[in-house]
Amino acid sequence: MNYLLIPPVTFFIVLVLVLIQARLLSKLSAKGSPSDGKNKAYACGEDVLDHRVQPDYSQFYSFAFFFTIMHVVVLVIATAPIGFAADAMAAFYILAAIVGLLILFRR
């Protein structure tokens, strides 16, 4: 029997390999005290004050929802089998996507 196909054995082997890799790569990591700027946020060389930004995602939501609807519709239509029932289902998905987008972007 091939023991590499047993999930716990494979998990243990991968875990050991990852731990070895982490140990070896830790030798390449940056050394120094936290005052050297090791723990500061990277901002392209700009000094960033210690304040938190509260981003507004209200405009982002509509675009994310748009792309989600479009990707689901394309996936369903592209993988639909050939036949009348599949064509009706594809037409229904297209119609539902159009209605959803009209609701999403109404003024």
* Domain ranges, ordered by start, for the chain: 60-107
Q: What is the pLDDT of residue 35?
A: 63
From the list 66, 70, 71, 78, the residue with the least C-alpha distance to 103 is: 66
Torsion of CA 103, 105, 106, 107, to 10 degrees: 160
Q: Which amino acid is at 15?
A: L
pTM to 2 decimals?
Answer: 0.44
Summarize pLDDT for 37-80 with one digit per residue, the tens: 666 667 676 666 666 677 777 778 888 888 888 898 888 888 88
Residue 25 pLDDT exceeds 70: yes
Q: What is the pLDDT of residue 18?
A: 97
